[in-house]
């Protein structure tokens, strides 16, 4: 009996700096779980970082290498999963150019993140790249003929534009692309150290490259329940970033911790010390793998070259279908 063909996934992260625990829990761990059951292409989308930071490009390549180290340290197996640097695979740009020709500007101007990024980054004169970001994202997925995309429920609407672009291409030129469906995943959502969304721009991250001492120190400074001033005060764990991390990394003891906090038996200082121990124990295997990978940069570069080769084989097949569908070849 022939082996059933695996469905294809392309999923990626943008590299604008070091990866943090939000990236680990929100994407990397899920990719590791998926790689056994899917044909997985794990992208490092360096071109996307140019949409808002195109002047200083000197750090991009090092950020790519560090992301690759983190992907591998988290457990991605390069024998199963192609780790793909976006700019190393020409078909990403080729398909982006073709899809940009058929995508109405009105579709892009309605994308909420376009307005949000302009306001957040105070961009007075946005580039075409920023406006066309969703088209490049669609090309990233469709060039692999991706059938499913792992997303959280809040991210599901973002995938609809990719489906609309795929439908428009198929309507104009014939059935070429599958319409990628959401693979809904419940991610562990970790707040930043200050309780806001974890973001490099807020400076509230725990990075995968942080040392054990740095992690403990960051945990020591974490915001806690503002209503719990003294140990004996009844706590509200569901409002506390420290407890959110406890649930993610030590769920077996979370219920008792919650009870003790609410009863005034556990103070915030002691809870932070416990969390420092929990995180250090949980992250030690990853840190050990990171250290070994950093000591062998030739291996990491080889993984990226092999990933690009596998990606090019896949995407060249897609582009042949695209050129023929458009009667350009």
Q: Are 24 and 72 in contact (CB under 8 A)?
A: no
The CATH architecture to which 8-189+296-325 belongs is 3-Layer(aba) Sandwich (3.40)
CA distance 217 to 200: 17
From 7, 200, 231, 306, active-site residue: 200
Arch. (CATH architecture) of 210-291: Orthogonal Bundle (1.10)
Same fold, 8-189+296-325 and 210-291: no
Report the phi/psi class of residue 153: left, alpha or beta, with left for phi > 0 and alpha for psi in -120 to 50: alpha
Question: Choosing from 5, 7, 115, 117, which is the catalytic residue?
Answer: 117
Please confirm, yes or no, whether 197 is among the known catalytic residues: yes
Tens digit of pLDDT at every position of the chain (329 positions) = 345 689 999 999 988 788 999 999 989 999 999 999 999 999 999 998 888 777 778 889 999 999 999 999 999 999 999 999 999 999 999 999 999 999 999 999 888 777 777 777 677 778 888 889 999 999 999 999 999 999 877 677 778 999 999 999 999 999 999 999 999 877 677 899 999 989 887 899 999 999 999 999 999 999 999 889 899 999 999 999 999 999 999 999 999 999 999 999 999 999 999 999 999 999 999 999 999 999 999 999 999 999 999 999 999 999 999 999 999 98
Choose the catalytic residue: 6, 115, 197, 227: 197
**Cα–Cα distance, 13 to 41 (Å, whole number):** 12
Active site (annotated) includes residue 117: yes
Long-range interactions of 50-57: CB distance < 8 A, separation 24+: 50/129, 51/127, 51/129, 51/130, 51/133, 52/117, 52/121, 52/123, 52/130, 53/16, 54/127, 54/129
Q: Is 271 exposed, middle or buried (0-12, 13-18, 19+ CB in 10 A)?
A: buried
Domain boundaries, the chain: 8-189+296-325, 210-291
Give the 3-state secondary structure of residue 281: helix
């Amino acid at each position: 009996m022939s082996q059933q063909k695996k469905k294809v996934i392309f999923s990626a992260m943008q590299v604008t700096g070091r990866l943090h625990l939000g990236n680990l829990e929100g994407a990397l761990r899920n990719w590791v779980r998926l790689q056994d059951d899917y044909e997985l292409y794990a992208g490092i989308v360096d071109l996307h970082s140019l949409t808002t930071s195109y002047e200083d490009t000197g750090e991009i390549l090092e950020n790519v290498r560090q992301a690759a180290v983190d992907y591998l340290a988290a457990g991605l197996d390069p024998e199963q999963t192609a780790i793909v640097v976006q700019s190393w695979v020409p078909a990403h740009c080729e398909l982006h150019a073709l899809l940009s020709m058929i995508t109405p500007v009105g579709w892009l101007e309605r994308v909420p993140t376009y307005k949000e990024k302009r306001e957040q980054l105070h961009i007075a004169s946005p580039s075409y790249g920023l406006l066309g970001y969703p088209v490049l994202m669609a090309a990233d997925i469709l060039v692999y003929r991706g059938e499913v995309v792992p997303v959280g429920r809040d991210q599901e609407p973002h995938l609809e534009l990719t489906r609309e672009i795929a439908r428009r291409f198929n309507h104009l030129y014939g059935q070429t692309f599958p319409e990628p469906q959401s693979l809904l995943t419940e991610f562990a959502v970790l707040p930043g150290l200050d309780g806001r969304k974890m973001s490099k721009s807020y400076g509230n991250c725990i990075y995968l490259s942080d040392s054990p001492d740095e992690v403990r120190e960051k945990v020591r400074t974490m915001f806690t329940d503002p209503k719990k001033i003294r140990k004996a005060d009844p706590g509200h764990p569901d409002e506390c970033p420290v407890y959110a991390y406890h649930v993610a990394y030590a769920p077996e003891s979370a219920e008792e911790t919650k009870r003790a906090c609410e009863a005034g038996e556990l103070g915030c200082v002691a809870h932070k010390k416990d969390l420092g121990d929990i995180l250090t124990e949980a992250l030690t295997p990853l840190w050990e793998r990171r250290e070994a990978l950093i000591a062998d940069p030739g291996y990491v570069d080889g993984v990226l070259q092999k990933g690009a080769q596998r990606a090019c084989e896949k995407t060249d097949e897609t582009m042949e279908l695209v050129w023929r569908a458009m009667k350009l070849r």
